[in-house]
A and B are shown apart, each in its own frame.
Chain A
């Protein structure tokens, strides 16, 4: 009898322990979405091996779409997690910065012609130039945050306002089109490989960031700066430089996503490309259970969060939700998430739990 109740208790305790784990929120959200889709329409999970317009074998299906577009978000989430951790704020200019990076790539590849017959430079050169430009803009944001101590979201507001205009200005507001097929491999499919390329790019980014976190102090430093900048300064870390580095890394992520984005359609639309992606990237970090006020973070949870956001988006699309009405639903999700993770709410929840368990013990004693 007693052993039974003990077992029960340990089971409850285990449950409580599981709910406290960081991966609990993303996994629970994923389960809810999967169950919902299973009930609503199981064909959601079907994957077909079809042929694309070029006659190459490609996988298609909602799950593949999620993997494909979620990969862009996952790459951004990597940078956003670091920025959130170190500076306790988010970069809202990533969408605008993607437009700039994409514009730079097209500018390098096309020169001044709007429809060149062949590319003016190797893709890798264009990509590297875009990386440098995106990192410079990242450093600009980072400098405002780190050295001038402006709140991250307000500092990045500057680029958020100007970014798309700068992107349009780089190409004189023209929309160059690249006809070379090899350019489109990055955003669509490599011939012969049925899995979309962005998945591989994202996987490569994940491996890189895993190695970086494993073999350098970046993760440790950014967390300590996020938790307490002045005590980390006393421990010999320069908080400003750490913050700056995280913003530069986010710039790099932005350049990669910019390449995928322009490669998908072989051109760019300045006002539409990566629209509202900053919201999704922030949401991915929040969904991963990371505190948006900085400090400790879990990279796998953020990456998972990114794919779950894409899962949600795709599910909404499938149920014929107008793309411009999407933000309303996502906003509700954000609000629920931040309310659940708010310290005040958590405290009250814990108090409720405590009073319940203490009530039980009183009953048992009686």
Chain B
């Protein structure tokens, strides 16, 4: 008796579930499914915690970029300049550290300043001059691309000692290590970037859930007109979203820089596509108003798990990764389209 009541309430709860939660659950299920597939097909290597941590290490910057992307997408915009911005930040910091003999603290400030500059200009153009975000950020993408080669056109490794020390810092995770064949304990580790990424995820989660600005993002993305009638400053909210996105891209860029330790014009090529794909897989709606930072986090993990599977299957020619990412993107866009249709149907 009690059981049936609870099951019924579960059913009705599922039916009434908001799009945000529904898409979040889809994402988490997809991730678990992917990971299970990886374990089944590729052996127990994927069961080792270190394998999971490696995914985090590899994708710390992507997590940060995707979080910024989700913010903008929740307000109904998009920002495709983040990938090249990452590249520009890498190159500028690398040149500053290696050729100008700068110190690490100042290089971080430079990264943030670049992000701030991009954020202010793009945010102003999108929010106050009401230009399509895609066009603005396309111009931003090309500007950053050109600027990167103007700063320096070739790839080089940074040999600044302070920086290399920071780059090589490993944080061991207790109790998660594994024994190798000889029975020697190898501790599991993560890089500094992962800590930054997780901090960003937590901060943004709090921002979106419990602060006025965060709720305004959803309101503006859901319906700008009614948000304005509710007394929300729509323009400022959009401006803030783009500003935050560019700042996060700069932070993500620095994390990427710490991971690779070099500057190159081809760094983070196509990262914007991965960020958009992760956000969409994570349940952020392109139409705005729906999205979740936790979902985005799992979106990145799903995407990189798929990439790992593809490359471990021996299809490691670069094109297969691109095709799978595109396929995933397509699939989730269709799912979103269906969710929207369901919503429209429910209204009728």
Which A residues lie at the B interface, using CB under 8 A? Answer: 89-90, 92, 144, 148-151, 153-155, 157-162, 164-166, 168-169, 173, 276, 279, 282, 286, 292-293, 322, 324-332, 334-335, 338-339, 342-345
Contact = CB atoms under 8 A, between A and B. Distances in A.
A342 B150 contact: no
B129 A339 contact: yes
A331 B143 contact: yes
Given A150-B337, A334-B135, A334-B139, A326 B146 contact: yes
Interface in B125-165: 125, 128-132, 134-136, 138-143, 145-147, 149-150, 153
Given A293-B132, A322-B149, A335 B125 contact: yes
Contact of B323 (A166, A324, A328, A345): A166
Given A165-B320, A338-B135, A344 B129 contact: yes
A331 B138 CA distance: 8
Per DSSP, are chain A's interface residues mostly helix, strand or loop, or mixed?
helix
Given A327-B142, A342-B130, A161 B326 contact: yes
B134 A153 contact: yes
A330 B142 contact: yes
B142 to A, nearest CB: 4
Given A154-B333, A335-B139, A328 B319 contact: no
Contacts of B14: none
B135 A292 contact: yes
Contact of A162 (B141, B143, B323): B323
B327 interface: yes
B326 A158 contact: yes
A229 to B, nearest CB: 15
Most buried by A among B138, B149, B317, B329: B138
B146 A328 contact: yes
B129 A154 contact: no
A150 B339 CA distance: 12
Given A151-B286, A345-B129, A327 B145 contact: yes
Interface in B308-348: 317-323, 325-327, 329-330, 333-334, 336-337, 340
Nearest to A334: B139
A343 B130 contact: yes
A185 B299 CA distance: 49
Nearest to A324: B149
Interface of B: 78, 125, 128-132, 134-136, 138-143, 145-147, 149-150, 153, 265, 270, 273, 276-277, 286, 317-323, 325-327, 329-330, 333-334, 336-337, 340
Contact of B276 (A90, A154, A162): A154
Contact of A161 (B146, B153, B270): B270
A324 B125 contact: no
A168 B334 contact: no
A331 B141 CA distance: 8
Contacts of A169: 319, 323
A338 B139 contact: yes
Nearest to B146: A328
Given A161-B326, A169-B319, 11 more contacts: A151-B134, A154-B333, A157-B276, A164-B322, A173-B317, A293-B132, A322-B150, A328-B142, A329-B146, A335-B136, A343-B130
Contacts of B130: 342-344
A293 B131 CA distance: 9
A251 B270 CA distance: 23
A89 B142 CA distance: 18
B273 A160 contact: yes
A344 B142 CA distance: 24
A328 to B, nearest CB: 2
A161 B273 contact: yes
Contacts of B333: 144, 148, 150, 154-155, 158
